[in-house]
Structure 1
Amino acid sequence: MAAVIGALVPVIVKLSLLLLCLNINSSLIQARKWESWKDKYPFIKPSSSFSSSSPSNAWSSSGSNEAYDYDYIIVGGGTAGCPLAATLSQKFSVLLLERGGVPFDNANVTLMQNFHISLADTSPTSASQIFVSTDGVFNVRAKVLGGGTSINAGFYSRASESYIKKVGWDSKLVSESFPWIEKQIVHRPILAPWQKAVRDGLLEVGISPFNGFTYDHIYGTKSGGTIFDRFGRRKTAAELLTSGNPEKLHVLVHATVQKIEFDTSGKKPRAVAVVFEDEKGNQHKAFLSKTKGSEIIVSSGAIGSPQILLLSGIGPKAELEKLNISVVLDNKFVGKGMSDNPLNTIFVPTNRPVQQSLIQTVGITKMGVYIEASSGYGESEESIQCDHGIASAEIGQLSAIPPKQRTHEAIEAHKRNKKNVPREVFRGGFILEKIATPLSTGHLSLKSNKIDDSPSVTFNYFSHPRDLMQCVDGIRIVEKIVKSKHFTNFAQCDKETLDKLLNMSVQANINLIPKHTNDTESLEQFCKDTVITIWHYHGGCHVGKVVSPDYRVINVKRLRVIDGSTFTESPGTNPQATVMMMGRYIGVKILRERLGRAAGL
């Protein structure tokens, strides 16, 4: 019997690796868990089931041409779109159009252990869509109900009070809207060992005071909330839809909006309908009610929202005419002022594997940088054996290939080399430093008049000298943390081990602490060479330039934009809390404006 078992061990190991790469086990678990999601979300349907006939037959396939008009049509079922749709549906009919599928039966979305896989998935059913900025930095946009909350690292932290005041939001309503989100999908994390070590290191180097666990954005060191529960299962903004009225809420997935249509017979263009394509390639048109107050609301994110406006004829006239797009409104600011918070990471080796953790601890400094941490998914057998691609967090954070050199050939070479590197080089975790409010800005423009073609996006990382200066300051803070007593005790790597890892790391392209941190010029080059994204890009539909303070598109009737494309800076350390709150907040504001006290909100 012992001989039989011994012979089976290599087979079992190989089979285990194969299951890890294909996610078979987790997929089966999730399929069983979510087999009844359709009962919980009866209002979510495939876009091919749409009919413009009537409310009672809204999901039929009769093909009737009799129009059913919605009070609100929301383009994009993401971080802002889901809470917005749920709120508005409490009193009015709402059609929510999402180009991706549902997150509930996708193990790469729902399981924290698969976080990095989801970001690199290029299959047709992927929850993310890779795009590469002209800067050479690989990035992703969400393509799933729940938007960024379905593919991000889960950290939940509110915007600061000063940010709320700066954008002119009603602080009382904001303070009511955040808990509405938190009660439904946010958890207090159980701090992983890596997160505790970074917390202690932050405090040791003077990032104080210690603020404990809090959702609030305040200077010092803290732990924040997470949308992962204690079992590592993700909650998303899609789950906020259960707070809506199922009788008034219609959600279509795999509904790719092509454009918004307008009535241009008056002094100002008036939004009247949305044209979208279903998963079978058939086109549909959803009409807006003629009732006063009815609106189309674009919530497709910082990439999608300006793209939709441009494809619909709202944007710089010359750019639109080049692509034979009929100009509805000439606005030179659409797609302009794009920003991304540059991220630079340091890999810190340990003398043993460490538990996986995403962001739980953060240092909010007065130097304009945030310090965060993650661990555990770099050294796993799965990460080493499977090709997740350069866009995954694991590869992106390990790669020291400068942006302009991140060619497909370099990526393939990187993946091949990684498999030949001893796995000890992947043991450890990352300390991340993010520029809080970058002054470097760029722009977005259409490559074609097709929605499926990601637009050309330029962020101009570190083009402003202040951003580069802050990055240098951030790397020096990270160096202090790595050398702090608490952290060195945790890592337990002696000089001999570090030297060995340093030699191996040349092949693995690992970002270790630069040798000459006193040399500002060298650190500036390090910042430029190792810059990646933390997926907090924003802008393109700024308030005062594209939309008014109440997010109505300037000089257009019955059209708003509500999402991060309206931001001039990313709120808090991580924006998802504020973007979800924004969806709820604006939804309540709209209901109160239309119904007054009768809104009951």
Structure 2
Amino acid sequence: MRSLLLPLFALTAAAVEQASNTYDYIVVGSGPGGGPLACNLARAGYSTLLIEAGKDDGDNPEVADLANFNAAANDPNMRWDFFVKHSEDPARELKFQHMVWRKRDGTFYVGLDPPAGATQLGIWYPRTGTLGGCAMHNGGVCALPADSDWNIVVNKTGDTSWEASKMRKYLIKLEKNTDAPAGSDHGVSGWVEISQSYGAVPAQGSDGWNIDTQLAIATGQNASNLASLVRRDILAGGPDKDQQTGFFAMSGHVDKTGKRTGPRWYIRSTLNDPAKYPLTLSLNTFVTRVLFSNDTANPAAIGVEYMQGANLYSASPRYKNGTKGNLTQVFARKEVIVSGGAFNSPQLLKLSGIGPKAELAKFDIPLVKDLPGVGENMADNYEAGILTLANRDLGDTGGYVVIMLNTSKTTHDRNIYAFCGSFSFEGFWPGYPTDYGPSQYECALVHMGPRSQAGYVRLRSADPQDVPDINFRFFESNGDEDLTEILDAVKTIRKGIRAVTGDVAPFDEQHPCAGTGAECTDEAQKDFIKTQAYSHHPTSSCAIGADSDPMAVLDSKFRVRGVRNLRVVDASAFPVVPGAFPVLPTMMLSEKASEDILADAKASS
């Protein structure tokens, strides 16, 4: 692999301009950050190359029908398998009930008692290598961050364009909201359809109605308004939106027929538009590094190097050891934009010579820019849940209902996003989830504003095809405060579930306090949550920060510090996790980056 790590590529700007395989912009990654950005640049008239390591799986029913999202995440034809750690403590790691091992025959074992000869892999963290990125296998849930999550960029950088009051315009620009009431501050003609298509209001007197009634009472709502409460718009604006608690409808990037929407379809519509926008899509294209000019004192990105071929990244279950693709180089007149996500963007920067000096020296990677924050300060939402089994099979539950709570003693903003219904969701492992049958009922919890931001993405080797070393270091900082907030939410929901009457009750809780009406200590429940918490919203591994912050990777315009013509536009850029689900904020971030990049292009022309 040493051939992939040549000294800085020495090309003058004139030589780049003369190259036939040259575009104005190169965007690496087609997910919620890179996909819309590439489309917007092309629609503004700039020749843009969009590079995606996977193929297009948009016609696969597992992907196209949002209800099949669990199958999509398990699909070996499109998934990437990362195996991560939650802490630096090997003994704690071995308490995770869904630990994954590789058996001698090459198949997976999931659990705490592996067979002889099995190799511990870690905690499964599925990503995707497909057109549209992780918006193609997620649950599609759309939620907005608190205003403070946007304003933190203002506070760090002084860039007032990030003020929360100015960020909603990007939601309106991208959104085609099919449930927005007339005159509301929603978009109705954007590129991604957003709707409340996750379920109907349960029929009065049904199991869902009875459960929701008790959950409403437990959370301090007027249950006589149940029908209107469960249809409340979770994406609505207003000065007190971040403090509103209680029931909401779940919104998602899904149309009224249940079909997934998102960046993939925006890319396809741009490619197929009669206007013939100058967008070029290169699938099955695995970028190995960013290329730079020979000005070592003032380095500038001039292109990328890639391998052509399917399943070239070892995270793919279809990867065959030793498979290589022919190395090819392609060039950018203006900029290279990296949008590989919170795992792959820092990996690509490091392989290209941008990152912590000592780490790059360890693998003999020529240094372009010493940026110690690359791959550090990674954060994620903590996720947990209260899973129960009803006394009999459940009837109509009406689909999902969202409950927003504030269990924090340090902020007025809500800090818990819970979604409840007849399902089971206990994290991720190959073949997930466990189906407990038609009596299952769960409220899954997403904890917002985690206090620990200690995770990292570090190289295992200088081989671009090797996956990085990923450790979230959960609960590293102020962990008990976070655990208390999660547990308080569990207790509130448990109070509602235990208040349900009729033959559907009592509910047999599976966790975190197993048993019908069982009493568990706070310490025991916190220990369960701490060891079994999971996540799937990684951010902040190439974070925007202040000029004075040595760990800042990007400035407020997404530019990589100390390097010209290189930006990162994806969830890794957020200084903190943006609310409960990053997919919609990342699409908004992409719209903002489009505006910033086009403004710079206009100013330089």
TM over 0.5: yes
Map 1:163-242; keep pairs closer than 5 Å. 163-168=149-154, 169=162, 174-183=167-176, 184-189=192-197, 191-192=199-200, 193=202, 200-206=213-219, 212-216=232-236, 218-219=242-243, 220-221=245-246, 222-241=248-267, 242=269
| SS of equivalent residue, structure 1 residue 89 | helix
> Does 2:35 correspond to 1:82?
yes
Q: Is the 8 A contact 1:373 1:429 kept in 2?
A: no
Shift of 1:69: 1.6
Amino acid at match of 2:442: F
| SS of equivalent residue, structure 1 residue 373 | strand
| SS of equivalent residue, structure 2 residue 538 | coil
Which residue among 443, 450, 475 is the counterpart of 2:463? 450
Q: Is the alpha carbon distance of 1:576 and 1:273 closer, same or farther for their aligned partners in structure 2, counting shifts above 3 Å?
A: same
Shift of 1:430: 1.9
| SS of equivalent residue, structure 1 residue 296 | strand
Amino acid at match of 1:131: F
CA distance in 2 between partners of 1:208 and 1:218 (Å)? 17
CA distance in 2 between partners of 1:446 and 1:224 (Å)? 38
Map 1:74-473; keep pairs closer than 5 Å. 74-91=27-44, 92-121=46-75, 123=76, 125-133=77-85, 135=87, 136=93, 137-168=123-154, 169=162, 174-183=167-176, 184-189=192-197, 191-192=199-200, 193=202, 200-206=213-219, 212-216=232-236, 218-219=242-243, 220-221=245-246, 222-241=248-267, 242-243=269-270, 246-279=276-309, 281-289=325-333, 294-350=334-390, 351-353=392-394, 361-365=402-406, 367=408, 369-376=415-422, 378=424, 390-391=429-430, 394-395=433-434, 424=437, 427-440=439-452, 441-465=454-478, 467-473=479-485
Amino acid at match of 1:218: D
| Structure showing the higher helix proportion among its residues | 1
Shift of 1:170: 5.2
CA distance in 1 between partners of 2:513 and 2:64 (Å)? 29
Q: Is the alpha carbon distance of 1:191 and 1:272 closer, same or farther for their aligned partners in structure 2, counting shifts above 3 Å?
A: same
Correspondence for 1:402: none
Q: Is the alpha carbon distance of 1:286 and 1:472 closer, same or farther for their aligned partners in structure 2, counting shifts above 3 Å?
A: same
Q: Is the 8 A contact 2:79 2:126 kept in 1?
A: no
Shift of 1:525: 0.8
| SS of equivalent residue, structure 2 residue 330 | strand
Q: Is the alpha carbon distance of 1:198 and 1:549 closer, same or farther for their aligned partners in structure 2, counting shifts above 3 Å?
A: farther
Correspondence for 1:410: none
Give the TM-score, by structure 2 length.
0.72
Shift of 1:249: 0.5
Shift of 1:175: 2.6
CA distance in 1 between partners of 2:539 and 2:198 (Å)? 30
Shift of 1:140: 1.8
Shift of 1:307: 0.6
Give the TM-score, by structure 1 length.
0.73
| SS of equivalent residue, structure 2 residue 32 | coil
Amino acid at match of 1:187: S
CA distance in 1 between partners of 2:516 and 2:153 (Å)? 39
| SS of equivalent residue, structure 1 residue 452 | coil
| SS of equivalent residue, structure 1 residue 304 | helix
> Does 2:561 correspond to 1:554?
yes
Q: 1:168-201 CA distances to partner (integer Å, 9 max, x unpaired)?
A: 3155653322122221321123535498777655
Q: Is the alpha carbon distance of 1:515 and 1:487 closer, same or farther for their aligned partners in structure 2, counting shifts above 3 Å?
A: closer
CA distance in 2 between partners of 1:195 and 1:582 (Å)? 37
CA distance in 1 between partners of 2:446 and 2:165 (Å)? 30
Q: Is the alpha carbon distance of 1:510 and 1:128 closer, same or farther for their aligned partners in structure 2, counting shifts above 3 Å?
A: farther
Shift of 1:129: 3.2
Q: Is the alpha carbon distance of 1:172 and 1:528 closer, same or farther for their aligned partners in structure 2, counting shifts above 3 Å?
A: closer
Correspondence for 2:540: 539
Correspondence for 1:568: 575
How much is the aligned-residue C-alpha RMSD, in angstroms?
Answer: 3.3
Q: 1:276-310 CA distances to partner (integer Å, 9 max, x unpaired)?
A: 11116232211011xxxx11011111111101101
Amino acid at match of 1:96: L
For structure 1, which segment, 213-222 or 266-275, has the greater mean C-alpha deviation from structure 2 after superposition? 213-222
Shift of 1:363: 0.9
Q: Is the alpha carbon distance of 1:131 and 1:109 closer, same or farther for their aligned partners in structure 2, counting shifts above 3 Å?
A: farther
Which residue among 484, 489, 492 is the counterpart of 1:477? 489
Tell me the percent identity.
24
CA distance in 2 between partners of 1:277 and 1:200 (Å)? 56
Q: Is the alpha carbon distance of 1:576 and 1:457 closer, same or farther for their aligned partners in structure 2, counting shifts above 3 Å?
A: same
Unaligned runs of 5+ in 1: 1-64, 399-422
| SS of equivalent residue, structure 2 residue 331 | strand
Shift of 1:155: 1.1
Q: Is the alpha carbon distance of 1:197 and 1:232 closer, same or farther for their aligned partners in structure 2, counting shifts above 3 Å?
A: farther
Q: Is the 8 A contact 2:381 2:580 kept in 1?
A: no
Correspondence for 2:504: 493
Q: Is the 8 A contact 1:225 1:360 kept in 2?
A: no
Q: Is the alpha carbon distance of 1:562 and 1:195 closer, same or farther for their aligned partners in structure 2, counting shifts above 3 Å?
A: farther
Shift of 1:516: 6.6
| SS of equivalent residue, structure 2 residue 418 | strand
CA distance in 2 between partners of 1:74 and 1:475 (Å)? 42
CA distance in 1 between partners of 2:56 and 2:143 (Å)? 25
Q: Is the 8 A contact 2:423 2:442 kept in 1?
A: no
| SS of equivalent residue, structure 1 residue 239 | helix
CA distance in 2 between partners of 1:357 and 1:448 (Å)? 50
Shift of 1:259: 0.6
Unaligned runs of 5+ in 2: 1-17, 88-92, 94-122, 155-161, 177-191, 223-228, 311-324, 409-413, 546-551
Q: Is the alpha carbon distance of 1:463 and 1:597 closer, same or farther for their aligned partners in structure 2, counting shifts above 3 Å?
A: closer
| SS of equivalent residue, structure 2 residue 444 | strand
CA distance in 2 between partners of 1:329 and 1:597 (Å)? 24
Shift of 1:101: 1.6
Shift of 1:520: 2.6
Correspondence for 2:586: 579
CA distance in 2 between partners of 1:133 and 1:150 (Å)? 24
Q: Is the 8 A contact 2:428 2:534 kept in 1?
A: no
Q: 1:118-146 CA distances to partner (integer Å, 9 max, x unpaired)?
A: 2223x2x2244343335443312222111
